[in-house]
Structure 1
Amino acid sequence: MTTPDPITRPEGGETRELKVLVAAPRGFCAGVDRAIRIVELAIERFGAPVYVRHEIVHNRYVVESLKAGGAIFVESLGQVPDGVPVVFSAHGVPKAVPAKAEARGLDYIDATCPLVSKVHRQAERAHEAGRHIIFVGHAGHPEVIGTLGQLPEGAMTLVESVDDVAGLSPSNPEMLSFLTQTTLSVDDTRDIVTALQHRFPAISGPRGEDICYATSNRQDAVKAIAGKCDRIIVIGAPNSSNSLRLVEVAERLGTPAHLVQRGVDVDPAWLDGISTLGITAGASAPETLVREVIDAVAARRSIVEEVVITAEENMVFKLPRGLEAA
C-alpha cells in the first residue's frame, strides 16, 4: 500500500473525511494498449481515415478520442469503402471477415488481443483432433462471435451457466474439449468448468488459464478491497464484459457497486454517510478517467486516497508487422 495522500477539503458537503481505496491493477491491459496503438499507428502510416470494424475496445472515451484523430468505426465490412485500410478490433473476428476483406482487396490490420488469438488456436487444434468444443462465454459478445467463427458451424457449443451444462447431450462424450472467453468471472467459470468435468470426466481443457491475466488480476484487486469499503465505483462501459464482472465480484462480497463511464456519472448520494469508497477500472478504461472520477468524488467529500496493490503487471505485446517502424 502507498502512503495515504491527503487532498484538500472541498467547500460544502459532508465534513467527515472519506477514505478512497484505489485498486491496483486497474485500467488498461496490454491487449487494449496494443489495439489502441495499432489504430494510432495505422492513421500515422496510411493517413486518415482509417476504418475500424467494431469499437476497437469497449470504451466510449477511447473511441471518441480515436475518431477525433481520423478513425471511423463501422459494424461491417460493407461499410468500408474500397481502397482504404481497416482494423479489426481487439475482441477478434470470425475467419469469414478477413476472407471477405481479402476477396475485396482491402488492406487490413488485425488488432485481436494475442490472448484471444491463443484461444482461437486452441480451438483449431481441438477440432483437428476430432473433439467437439464446449465454449464457456456470453452469447452475443464480440469475442464469443469471433471465437465461434473460427470453426465450421456446429463444431462448438456455447454454455453460459452451470444449468446449461446439465442440458448438454453431445454425440460423443469421450471426445470433448472446453475453452473459455477471456473476460469472464473467475469464480463463475470455475464452477462451470467443475460441472463440465464432473459430467464429462474425459473432457480436456487448455493447459493454462484462458481467462486473461488482466481480468483475473482486476477481480482479485476488487476482492482485496471490497470488505474494507462501504461502496465501490467501477469505471467502464456497459458493454465491457470485464468491467461488468468487477461490479458482480464486489456485489457478491456484499459491497454495493456502481458502473460509471465518466466523473459526471458519479451520484453524490452514493457518497453520503459512507466512510470508505473503493474505485477500480475495467481493462478498457484509461487512467485519465480514474483521475476524473476521483476528482468528482473529491469535489463532494474531503478524501484521503490510498492505492492498494495486489499484483504487478509488466506484460507487453508486440505490434503487427509493418507497424513497428511507424
Structure 2
Amino acid sequence: MPTKTPAEKRAKPRITVRLSSPRGFCAGVERAIKTVEETLSLYGAPVYVRHEIVHNAHVVARLSAMGAVFVESVAEAPTDRPIVFSAHGAPQSAHADAAQRKMVKIDATCPLVLKVHTQARRHVAAGRRVLLIGHANHPEVIGTMGQAPDGEILLVQTIQDAKDITIPDDRPLAYVTQTTLSVDDTAGIISALKNRFPDIAGPAKEDICYATSNRQDAVKASAPGTDLFVVIGSPTSSNSVRLVETAKAAGAKHAMLVEDAEQFDWDMIDGISTIGLSAGASAPESLVEDFLTALASEHTLDIKTIETARENVVFNTPLRLAS
C-alpha cells in the first residue's frame, strides 16, 4: 500500500456545526455555584447543600471535591455547619427546619424562582387557589407547591390536565409556572386554562425565565436542516430536556441529550454533514468545548454561530456573603 503524503494524512471529512447562542450557564446558575464557592471560602469545609446546587454532575463533582456535601433534607446536615439551598428553591418547611435547628442558612434559590414563590404566596393570601403549571417531582415544583398549605396549589402538567382538573370550590383562581418549561407547550396549557376559566389571574410577565426562553429561541433558529442536534446537559435538567424537544419540533432530523463528550456515541457522526449544538442552562461551557475538540479530532469543522440574543444579566450572591 502506498504511503500517504502529509496532506493526505491530515485530510478529514468536513462537517458543519450550527452552534446555538446563547447556551449554557444562566445568571441564576452562576449565582448558585458562586454562592457555594463563597460559603466554602467563608466557613471552610464541609458546607452542606440541600439537593444538587444545579442539575449537572460535573459541577456537583467539582464542588464536592472542594468540600460541599449534598443532602436531600435539612435533617441530614449537622447543626454546626452552614446549609445552602439550591437554585431550584425549597418549600417553606425546609427553611423552617433550618431555622428551628438554628443553622446558618444561605439561600441560593434563583431570583426568578423566588419571584414565582412570591406570586404564589400573594395569590393564596388574597384568597385565590393557585394552579401551578409544571412537572411533578421536579425540585422547583416541590419548592413552589411548598409555599402554601397542602391543597392551596394544584399541579397542571398538560393541556388535558387543564381541561380535566377538578377545582374543589368556587374560589377565584390564579396560575404560575415552573421557570424551565417549553415556551410553546406552556402557552398551550395557559390557553386551555383561560378558555375554561376566563377570570383566572396570571403573572404580568410570563414566569418562564429569560434564559430558558433565549436558549429555546436559539435552538429553534439553529435546528432546521440539521442531521443531528446535540444538547449538552443532564437528564435531570428540565431546561436541557426541553431543548431536545425544541430541536425536534424545529426540524432537526434527530436530537439527543448527552452529559458530555465521553457519553456520546461518535459512530452517530458517520455520514452526517450538519450538526447542531447547544447546552442547557446548568451545563458549563467547558463541556461544549470538549465536545467540539473531540469532533475536531476526526473532522474539519465549519462552525456557524447562530445568535438570537445577548445576555448581560447578573445576579448578586446572597447578602450574607456580599456584605
1:289 matches 2:287:
yes
Task: Quote the Cα distance in structure 1 between the aligned partners of 2:145 and 2:214.
Answer: 26
Decide whether the 8 Å contact of 1:10 with 1:300 is kept in 2.
Answer: no
AA in 2 matched with 1:147: T
> Higher mean Cα deviation, 301-310 or 192-201?
301-310
Q: What do the CA deviations read for 1:290-319 (whole angstroms, capped 9, x no partner)?
A: 101111211232212221111000111121
Per the alignment, residue 303 of structure 1 pairs with 301
Kept after mapping to 2: 8 A contact 1:92/1:146: yes
Matched, 1:76 2:48: no
Distance across 2 between alignment mates of 1:155 and 1:305: 50
Contact 1:30 / 1:317 at 8 angstroms: preserved in 2?
yes
- Please give the residue correspondences for 1:256-267 in structure 2 after superposition, counting only pairs within 5 Å: 256-267=254-265
Q: C-alpha separation between the residues in 2 aligned to 1:242 and 1:132?
A: 27
Alignment-derived partner of residue 133 in structure 2: 136
Match of residue 50, structure 1, among 37, 47, 53: 47
The 3 A distance-change label for structure 1 pair 242 and 130 is: same
Give the C-alpha shift of residue 105 in structure 1: 1.0
Give the whole-Å Cα distance in 1 for the aligned partners of 2:223 and 2:8: 29
Aligned-partner residue type, residue 143 of structure 2: G
1:88/1:16 CA distance change after superposition, 3 Å: same
For 1:100, the equivalent position in structure 2 comes to 97
The counterpart of 2:319, out of the listed 307, 318, 321, is 321
1:187 paired with 2:184, answer: yes
Which deviates more, 166-175 or 103-112? Answer: 166-175
Give the equivalent residue in structure 2 for 1:235: 232
What is aligned with 1:226? Answer: 223
Pick closer, same or farther for the CA change 1:296–1:202 going to 2, 3 Å.
same
Q: Residue 56 of structure 2 contacts residue 234 of structure 2 at CA under 8 Å; is this kept in 1?
A: yes
Q: Secondary structure at the match of 1:32?
A: helix
- Say if 1:147 and 1:12 are closer, same or farther in 2 by CA, change over 3 A: farther
The aligned counterpart of 1:273 is 271
Alignment RMSD: 1.7
Q: Partner letter of residue 287 of structure 2?
A: L
Match of 2:118 in 1: 121
Counterpart Cα distance in 2 of 1:290 and 1:119: 31
CA distance in 2, matches of 1:170, 1:217: 34
For residue 219 of structure 1, report the CA deviation from its aligned partner.
0.3
Change (3 A) 1:177 1:229: same
Closer, same or farther: CA 175–253 of 1 in aligned 2, 3 Å:
same
Structure 2: distance between partners of 1:210 and 1:197: 16
Aligned residues: 317
Shift in CA distance, 216/106, structure 1 to aligned 2, threshold 3 Å? same
Unaligned stretches of 5+ in structure 2? 1-5
Which blocks of at least 5 consecutive residues in structure 1 are unaligned? 1-8
- So what's the TM-score if we normalise by structure 1? 0.94
Partner of 1:312: 310
Query: Counterpart of 2:214?
Result: 217
Residue 59 in 1 paired to residue 63 in 2?
no
Name the CA distance, whole Å, in 2 between partners of 1:318 and 1:11: 53
Work out whether residues 174 and 203 of structure 1, in 8 Å CA contact, stay in contact via their aligned partners in 2: no
Cα distance in structure 2, aligned partners of 1:278 and 1:305: 10
Q: Is the 8 A contact 1:139 1:158 kept in 2?
A: yes
| Cα distance per residue 1:114-167 (max 9 Å; x no partner) | 000000000011111111111000000000000000001000110100011121
**CA distance in structure 1 between the aligned counterparts of 2:320 and 2:158, rounded to whole angstroms:** 41
Question: 1:10·1:301 contact (CA, 8 Å) conserved in 2?
Answer: no
Give 1:212's aligned amino acid. C
- How many angstroms does 1:72 deviate by? 0.7
Identity rate, percent: 52
The verdict on how the C-alpha distance between 1:227 and 1:48 changes in structure 2, with shifts beyond 3 A counting, is: same
User: For residue 200 of structure 1, what is the aligned residue in structure 2?
Assistant: 197
1:264–1:296 Cα contact (<8 Å) kept: no
The structure, 1 or 2, with the larger RCO (C-alpha pairs under 8 Å, 6+ apart) is 1
SS class of match (2:193):
helix
